[in-house]
Amino acid sequence: MKHHVSTTINGDAAEFLCEPGALLLDVLRDVLGLIGTKEGCGSGDCGACSILLDGRLVCACLVLAAEAEGARIETVEGLARDGELHPLQRRFLEDAALQCGVCTPGFLVAAKALLDRNPDPTEEEARYWLAGNLCRCTGYDKIVRAVLEAAAEMRGEVR
Amino acid sequence: MRATRYAAPDSVGDAVALLAGAAGRGRVLAGGSDLLVQMRAGRIEAELVVDVKRIERMTTLSHDARGFRIGAAVCGAALAEDALLARAWPGVVEAVQLIGSSQIQGRASLGGNLCNASPAADGVPALVTAGARCVVAGPAGEREVEASQVATGPGETSLSAGEILVEVLLPDPPPRCADAYLRMTPRSEMDIAVVGAAARVWLDERGRCSAARVALGSVGPTVREVHAADAILAGGALDDAALARLAGAARDATAPIDDLRGSARYRTRVAGVLARRATLIAYARARERR
Amino acid sequence: MSDGAEGARKFRWVGTRPVRPDGVDKVTGRARYGADLALPGMLWGRVLRSPHAHARILAIDASRALAMEGVKAVVSAEDLPEIRSEQAFVGEGPTDFRDLSHNVMARGKVLYHGHAVAAVAATSAELAERALAGIDVEYEVLPAVLDLDAALAPDAPLLHEDLVTKGVNPPPQRASNVAERVEMGHGDVEAGLARADVVVEREFTTRPVHQGYIEPHAALAEIGEDGRATIWCSSQGHFMVRAYTAKLLGMELSSIRVIPAEIGGGFGGKTTVYLEPVATLLARKSGRPVKMVMSREEVFRATGPTSGTRIRVKMGCTRDGRLTGADAHLEYEAGAFPGSPVTAGAMTIFAPYDVADVRIVGLDVVLNTPKVAAYRAPGAPMAAFAAESAVDELARRIDLDPIEFRLRNAAREGVQAPYGPRFKRIGHVETLEAARAHPHYRAPLLPNQGRGVASGFWFNAGLQSSADVHINEDGSVVVTSGNPDIGGSRASLAILAAEELGIDYARVSPIVADTSQVAYSDLTGGSRVTFATGMAVVEAARSVVRQLRERAAAIWEVDLDDVEWRDGAARLRAGAGREPLGLAELAARAARTGGPLAGHASLTARGVGAAFGTHICDVEVDPETGSVRVVRYTAVQDAGRAIHPSYVEGQMQGGVAQGIGWALNEEYLFDADGVMQNPGFLDYRMPVASDLPMIDAVIVEVPNPGHPYGVRGVGEVPIVPPIPAVANAIHDATGVRMRELPMSPPRVLEALEREG
């Protein structure tokens, strides 16, 4: 029997039908067309499917779609507002913090969650927070720099 | 992934009734970071998934004169954000924070960690040294059980069919008493613990160790308590000789296996090292408390 | 950044760091990768995989599956034409299409656990997955060969009854599991070693490791009633996908169109096909588009890792640090089919050094494990682990600084490489000197810390590339080429076009075109895109510049030689009297002056510049647990000319991170039945952000005289030095030599206990 789910995604009301065992990641991508959230492993070990669920950073591959009922979901597609990129997105571009880019949506969402809680992380704090996001291309150096610089920018500091 | 039914009750009673109706083919869903992975891999089959995250009692962390009442489905990130809990039980909190990445922390719970009953569960050793108790609800009503008695073997618990672990209870720690948890993983994050060690140290008014409790994870089918720790450490100074004896006792307390995450030999060796290091951290923390 | 490039002309765009043209799509989630595409009426395909490491296929019965809900087609090797053994070189290594066909879909035998046996297309992924259980396969299980010794034993079970070792004279009488023996070198190695004052002879072993790209393989195939197919997929070469799919399915090349999706990492692992021919086959049989996406588990079980190896080196030097001889014996695991990178390993192992007497012998050995695929500088990192550890040991024995030792023996221009040709202008010495001068080399170390140095080499590739440069009517520019953009190549190609045309980078739009829209291009791999496709872009742009000059000359009624193109405009060389004509102006007048302005180049790129790197690594070792942490890392590399320095640095940092993972924690774990025990990111342990420090990427520029801008490939060199750099650092910290990978905590602790 399918569940009817009403939820909010990136500020917009959304609804869908899903099987009880369907995963939120698959519904986001295959039913709602939000392909920005990626599947890298399906077991919560790579963070490519990172989303915010009621403000909490989670892996969408480990959430049942039915759990989204009444929840507030934020994906990478919701980071830019009114045609303006989020400072994190801008810094990732300026600092060449992406190469193939497939891990980038997950990192952006995870980094946003970090800065929501801790606007002034140290390099070590940023690295440990982002340890759940695998990147195979960059060695993390430029990603961490971009996150720290975006944080500074968001604090109003010029760097 | 095959689950024919999903339900999200808003009371413990309803959850218990739902599970009873599934006649053993129902599973409790808290964070899902164990259950969903195992269902997807085909290691667990469930006809009914009971989502307990809409049950207020199970998602609330509170504190009163009797201590802390931690809803079994409270996620690790929320636990870590509770300043009172982090101050009172730093070992428990740091253990929970090691259960996976930031993303897993947004979901994984103490209840799930206990009931998944992995020998490598990070949450369990510190709950054991803390003397935590668990409230279990079932068709016959509610009962309390020591945290150390929940897991009975890898993937097996003492809960009977249809019972739900509802809350974890932690007392307020006495003065000059603190805990710590360390684990060994090949990478700095993300790995399942190869060895885990929790230590809790009580100090007397002169700052000497009056009691100690050490528990090890990943070195046996369930948590292994180092029963000799108290005899070795109590009444004396935490000098190198005592700590070396503690390390030896820890090694003797292990009953590990070889698996893809570590050999028995390595686990035994490192258990001694971590028991010593965790004890020193707990000791330093206890000294800061008056 | 710039070092050793005297007299370099001032560039407007080359060497700057503009934002990549495809960047906004990638940070907003709009970019479409292999699994992000869908078509109406689409079916989902799933693969049935062998439960045995080695078995004969006696029968396949799909009747139950075909009767199941939603199932529209089942395919197996019966649906593929038989291919006789044939060699074809496409990309980085020889490809035997018969082996490729059998790897994509097992015929007669399954040769590894996870080997594809059949595939199903159904109306949902879940129904397709369920249908796999409806395919009945009867196997005759055979003994499996799971390690080198077992494969090389005289009475070893044979994977291929007709496999006779190539490269042996006279050819062996019987088949074996050794596909090929290679030998190369020059001089008299025994005499050379005899002249040495100090000789080091050691054996090193490494395990298979995976490229670890975050995006699993994915393809969507559609085939019309006219037999014309369209495939959307992420790959490192859509022309390769077209060629391989055509070959495997017996189709004409022009009846297949491959459209490149964005690619989520490859590192060599996507220079071959797994799903594309199968999806196309299922699409043909079902009459509907078929989408296939691998799970992470499938990626590990059934796509190529790189070889596990056993390498013996013997190197000798004089007391004053001159190498007198170098001898190596390499055994590389190819997996189920021939084709390990042992030849490249043999070619690169001693390439950083000038040694007159050198011999390398290599064996390509098959085993019942997944067929290996290319992995970034294929064959070289393992070889460097052996040679650079031995060099470090020699340097220590004669109490000589390890960089100084390398400088005394460094390959330079004119030196004969161990594999034959003489080096042209190369920058090994420059990277050594820059490493030695770097503050890292003199920084103090804390207790339990140690420092290691290592050098690395990669040939880089040229191969074929095509590019078109079109000038739009408003003077903006489109640059079309055929290489998937893995790491920022669109930006580099746009930079080169903007530089040649003298216009604003923002006016250049680089497009990665599909196989029907641009002329042939070899793969994205081999560190070749900025070099070879860049060369084609430059040539196409220069053709356009010539056309622009011709148009201006015609408009001004002067000779072509009187017109130059400078700073984005046609100008009279001498004298005044003519206002410069810019790109927009000439484009607007194109119709009246000869037609649309467009340039094309198709070339086999010559003048490849080999490249070197020297790395410095500091580690901290926990002597009680064996944990090793990299605390500081500096990578120095000769890029020839860094077109976009940020992406050059990015290649360096990424290669270093992979090398560190390979060194410390990554390995394939198989059980006694050849089943991989850790096919996921939890237990296949790649470095996470908290495992690594910042990686200082120092670009040295010794321009390659063979390229108009001096470019050398940069993508592969950086994975070569890290393993020995880490091993040498561990030795410096603990006195212990690690000769087995990975250098995981239990192994390090055991070594400490044994030798400490």
Q: Is A56 on the interface with B (CB under 8 A)?
A: yes
Which member of A46, A93, A133 has the closest CB to residue C27?
A93
Which two three-digit tokens encode residue C151? Answer: 């494969």
> Distance (Å, rounded) from C-alpha C230 to C-alpha C290?
11
Between A and B, how many residue pairs show a Cβ–Cβ distance under 8 A? 95
| pLDDT given for residue A50 in this prediction | 98
| pLDDT given for residue C84 in this prediction | 77
Q: How far, in whole angstroms, is CA C41 from its chain's centroid?
A: 36
Where exactly are the structural domains of chain C? Answer: 23-31+463-602, 424-460+608-756
Residue B91 has pLDDT above 80, yes or no: yes
- C675-689 pLDDT tens trace: 999 999 999 999 999
Query: Which of the following CATH numbers is that of domain B5-170: 3.30.428.10, 3.20.20.70, 3.40.50.300, 3.30.465.10?
Result: 3.30.465.10
Residue C506 has pLDDT above 70, yes or no: yes
- C218-240 pLDDT tens trace: 999 999 999 999 999 999 999 99
> Distance (Å, rounded) from C-alpha C201 to C-alpha C203?
7
- C104-127 pLDDT tens trace: 999 999 999 999 999 999 999 999
The set of residues, in sequence order, having a beta carbon less than 8 Å from that of C604 and lying 6+ positions away, is: C462, C463, C464
| Burial annotation C200-225 (CB, 10 A radius, 16+ → b, else e) | bebebbbbbbbbbbbbbbbbbbbbee
Pairing type for strands C611-621 and C449-458 reads: antiparallel
> Chains near B, with 3+ CB pairs < 8 A?
A, C
Residue C438 has pLDDT above 90, yes or no: yes
- C683-709 pLDDT tens trace: 999 999 999 999 999 999 999 999 999
Average pLDDT over residues A121-143: 98
Q: How far are the Cα atoms of A76, C70, C329, C392, C612 from residue C315, in angstroms, in the given order? A: 54, 63, 12, 11, 21
Packing angle, helices A87-94 and A141-154, rounded to 10:
140
What percent of chain A is predicted at pLDDT more than 90? 97
Strands lying side by side in the sheet with C178-186: C178-186, C358-366, C323-335, C309-317, C198-206
Residue of B109, B129, B119 whose CA lies nearest to B29: B109
| pLDDT given for residue C93 in this prediction | 53
| pLDDT given for residue C85 in this prediction | 67
Please list every residue in chain A whose beta carbon sits closer than 8 Å to the beta carbon of residue B83. Answer: none
Fold of the domain spanning B177-288:
Enolase-like; domain 1 (3.30.390)
Please list every residue in chain A whose beta carbon sits closer than 8 Å to the beta carbon of residue B5. Answer: 1, 20
* pLDDT tier at C9, thresholds 50, 70, 90: confident
| Ramachandran area for residue C216 (φ above 0: left; ψ -120 to 50: alpha; else beta) | beta
Average pLDDT over residues B59-70: 97
Residue of C498, C589, C601 whose CA lies nearest to C543: C601
Domain C424-460+608-756: CATH class, spelled out: alpha beta
For chain B, the straight-line distance linking the first and the last C-alpha, in angstroms and rounded, comes to 53
Q: What is the mean pLDDT of chain B?
A: 96
Residue with tokens 């017996």: C250
Which two three-digit tokens encode residue A36? Answer: 């920005």
Where exactly are the structural domains of chain B? Answer: 5-170, 177-288
Please list every residue in chain A whose beta carbon sits closer than 8 Å to the beta carbon of residue C27. Answer: 76, 79, 85, 89, 92-93, 98, 101, 104-105, 108
Please list every residue in chain B whose beta carbon sits closer than 8 Å to the beta carbon of residue A45. Answer: 190
C681 and A45: CB-CB below 8 Å? yes
Best C627, C744, C747 member to test B by mutation, with max B CBs in 10 Å, is C627
Please list every residue in chain C whose beta carbon sits closer than 8 Å to the beta carbon of residue A141. Answer: 653, 692, 694-695, 697
B266 and C749: CB-CB below 8 Å? yes
A64 and B100: CB-CB below 8 Å? no
A44 and B100: CB-CB below 8 Å? yes
For chain C, the straight-line distance linking the first and the last C-alpha, in angstroms and rounded, comes to 41
Average pLDDT over residues B232-261: 95
The set of residues, in sequence order, having a beta carbon less than 8 Å from that of B65 and lying 6+ positions away, is: none
Which member of B32, B40, B102 has the closest CB to residue A42?
B40
- C661-677 pLDDT tens trace: 999 999 999 999 999 99
- B150-194 pLDDT tens trace: 999 999 999 998 999 999 999 999 999 999 999 999 999 999 999
A21 and B39: CB-CB below 8 Å? yes
- C523-546 pLDDT tens trace: 999 899 999 999 999 999 999 999
Which member of C627, C688, C744 has the closest CB to residue B190?
C688
Residue B17 has pLDDT above 70, yes or no: yes
Residue C352 has pLDDT above 80, yes or no: yes
* pLDDT tier at A159, thresholds 50, 70, 90: low
Query: Cα-flanking dihedrals φ and ψ of residue C478, to 5°?
Result: -115, 130
Which two three-digit tokens encode residue C587? Answer: 């484009």
Domain C23-31+463-602: CATH class, spelled out: alpha beta
Tell me how close the Cα of B137 comes to any Cα of chain C, in angstroms. 33
Contact assessment for residue C450 and residue C733, using Cβ atoms and an 8 Å cutoff? yes
Tell me how close the Cα of C746 comes to any Cα of chain B, in angstroms. 6
Written as one string, the DSSP assignment of C178-233 is EEEEEEEEES-HHHHHHT-SEEEEEEEEE--B----SSPPEEEEEE-TTS-EEEEE
| pLDDT given for residue B290 in this prediction | 66
| pLDDT given for residue C297 in this prediction | 98
CA angle C233, C237, C240 (to 5 degrees): 100
Using an 8 Å CB-CB cutoff, list residues of chain C that contact chain B: 126, 624-625, 627, 629, 664-665, 669, 677-678, 682-683, 685, 687-688, 690-691, 744-746, 749-750
Please list every residue in chain A whose beta carbon sits closer than 8 Å to the beta carbon of residue C690. Answer: 124, 127-128, 130-131
Residue C3 has pLDDT above 50, yes or no: no
> Distance (Å, rounded) from C-alpha C233 to C-alpha C36?
10
Q: Give chain A's domains with CATH numbers.
A: 3-78 (3.10.20.30), 87-154 (1.10.150.120)
| pLDDT given for residue B2 in this prediction | 72
Which two three-digit tokens encode residue B186? Answer: 């090949």
Residue B86 has pLDDT above 80, yes or no: yes
Which member of C23, C33, C212 has the closest CB to residue A93?
C23
Tell me how close the Cα of B46 comes to any Cα of chain C, in angstroms. 16
A101 and C28: CB-CB below 8 Å? no
* pLDDT tier at B1, thresholds 50, 70, 90: low
* pLDDT tier at C2, thresholds 50, 70, 90: very low
Residue C97 has pLDDT above 50, yes or no: yes
ipTM over 0.90: yes
C625 and B184: CB-CB below 8 Å? yes
Residue of C459, C397, C449 whose CA lies nearest to C426: C459
Which member of B191, B260, B269 has the closest CB to residue C749?
B269
* pLDDT tier at C487, thresholds 50, 70, 90: confident
Q: How far are the Cα atoms of B57, B69, B142, B143 from residue B135, in angstroms, in the given order? A: 11, 10, 7, 6
Contact assessment for residue C403 and residue C436, using Cβ atoms and an 8 Å cutoff? yes
pTM for this model (two decimals) = 0.97
Which member of C678, C690, C750 has the closest CB to residue B188?
C690
> Distance (Å, rounded) from C-alpha C35 to C-alpha A36?
11
* pLDDT tier at C94, thresholds 50, 70, 90: low
Q: What is the mean pLDDT of chain C?
A: 95
| pLDDT given for residue A104 in this prediction | 98
